[in-house]
Amino acid sequence: MVAMQFQDTVFRVKRKFKMKRRDLLFALGVAIALLPLYPVAASAKELPPIQLPAGFQYPNGIARSKDGTLYVGSILSDRILQIKPNGRIETFFQGNEDIFAVTSLRLDEPRGILWGASPDVLGTPQSNGEILYKPHRIFAIDISSGKVLQVIMMPDGGFGNDLALDSQGGLYVTDTLRPRIHYLPPKATQFQTWVEDERFRTQLRFGLSGIALRADGVLFVTMYSDGRLFKVTPRSMGNPQVEEIELPRRIDGSDGMQLAADGSLIMIEGGIESGNGRLLQLHGLETGNNPQLQILASGMDLPVNLTVAGREVWVTESLFSHRLAPGRETEVPDRFFIRRFLLP
């Protein structure tokens, strides 16, 4: 693919210049200079997908335990599935009136707690034409019993999008509607504003989305509609330092992400504008070099979240795009899947 991109660049330069020898050498020089601007393709191997039970629609939140058990939530349902390593699928949590969606899941295995985000994505249309939204919230479920331990409302009407856990059991939450990252200390019942920055504010529909925590305490957060990426470094004195990471290109619907074992960032590109959902790998964060994007997989219908273990990646492909297209709202797919990939 890199060679094809190189040849395409040369061809385009050839058409612009009359191809004398010196012009050809100049064209080659231009092509070499332009080549790093292209994302590098390094396709992941696709593994057989996991077919979800009939009636379970629009998968989103996903987490994995050390023994290989997957937990999967939905954009529009309070039900959480448990998928065993042998492939057996059961309902782990049937839902209740306090939890109405499961758009992010993170497993605190040492403490036996499954954390999740429950935002009211579509709301409820009213007879007067208005849409009523329930308060967005974060919840915690005991893994052993399935009992709901906590339901915590997002501060100031915020929208809890994605979650990251620290080694002490503290929880970081991105706020899609406010330019904030919240933190819930271990055993606390109320969020703290960990960092607020105007660069997290957006004029588009959705702001902060995916979040990933590095072992040294550095956070990476992305903005869904703007397609930007930030590095947030804690400091012993004062507020955390926020730095924008210059990407090779804007990411179209930047959503869930996690760090791979090699320090690279595995990212979801929803393809909200292009219709081409992708799985990306961002190199450079682990070395301090200029970030370089690799396209691992493409052609997905609005992928939203993922979990990573070793070289394997599980992606929730929501198939939700028809709900956003006027006139296609009722075209519900027959079945839904978890897509599986093996990193190169």
Hey, which residues does 82 pair with through a beta bridge? Answer: 71, 90
Lookup result for tokens 């190189």:
6
DSSP string, 236-267: SSSSPEEEEE--SS--TTEEEEEE-TTS-EEE
Q: Which of 183, 232, 173, 235 is nearest to 207 (CA)?
A: 173
Mapped onto helix, strand or coil, the DSSP state of residue 200 is helix
Residue located via tokens 């050390």: 66
CA 22, 23, 26, 28 dihedral sign is negative
Q: What is the SS3 assignment for 235? A: coil
* 195-225: pLDDT as tens digits: 999 999 998 888 999 999 999 999 999 999 9
Which whole number is the average pLDDT over 114-142?
92
Confidence (pTM): 0.86
Distance CA 305, CA 105 (A): 9
pLDDT digits (tens, 9 = 90+) for 89-113: 999 999 999 999 999 999 999 999 9
Residue 334 tokens, joined = 């027959």
Side chain identity at 248, as an amino acid letter? P
Cα 224 to Cα 32: distance, rounded to the nearest angstrom: 32
Cα–Cα dist 89/84, whole Å:
6
Q: What pLDDT, in 10s, does the model give residues 13-32?
A: 334 334 444 444 444 444 43
* 40-41 and 292-300 strand pairing: parallel
Tens-digit pLDDT profile for residues 222-264: 999 999 999 999 998 889 999 999 999 999 999 999 999 999 9
Distance CA(269)–CA(224), nearest Å, equals: 9
